Amino acid sequence: MKKIILLLSLNILMFADYKSFKIDIHKKIVEELPRLACSSEMYKECYSVSEEECTTLMALFAESCFKTYENNMTADKTLNELAEVGNKIGYCTGFIYDMTLQKAKKADVQCIKDPKWSK
């Protein structure tokens, strides 16, 4: 999850206009993160939900987490600081997803261990 957020953040950082950056990073996180995360093997193997349901839920959680951290995305932040904010958004999204879908989580040993998005 962290790698996905970091790649999305790096992809967006080439925009010089901060307002454009914030709008674009929001769009990438809320639209691209769910699509990328829900097509990953972890979500296919560990949760008994469809890819469509995963994407819908992940988008809702990503939106919520983005709102939690968006004030930390200011124009004066360095690339590393913005990447850390992205990591927090990614962790928050994965954590809420995992907590919400505990009943849909498969009992496989691999799935019960620390989730791949954990620190």
The whole domain housing 52 covers: 2-112
* Predicted pLDDT of residue 58: 92
Gap between the Cα atoms of 101 and 97, Å rounded: 6
Identify whether 99 is part of a domain. Answer: yes
pLDDT digits (tens, 9 = 90+) for 97-109: 989 998 888 887 6
SS3 state at 47 = strand
* Predicted pLDDT of residue 16: 42
Identify whether 118 is part of a domain. Answer: no
Identify whether 73 is part of a domain. Answer: yes
Identify whether 117 is part of a domain. Answer: no
Identify whether 90 is part of a domain. Answer: yes
Report yes or no: 33 and 62 within 8 Å, Cβ to Cβ: yes
Residues 6+ apart with CB under 8 A from 17: none
Total of domains in the chain: 1
pLDDT digits (tens, 9 = 90+) for 12-51: 444 445 556 666 778 888 888 888 888 877 777 788 999 8
Identify whether 21 is part of a domain. Answer: yes
Identify whether 62 is part of a domain. Answer: yes
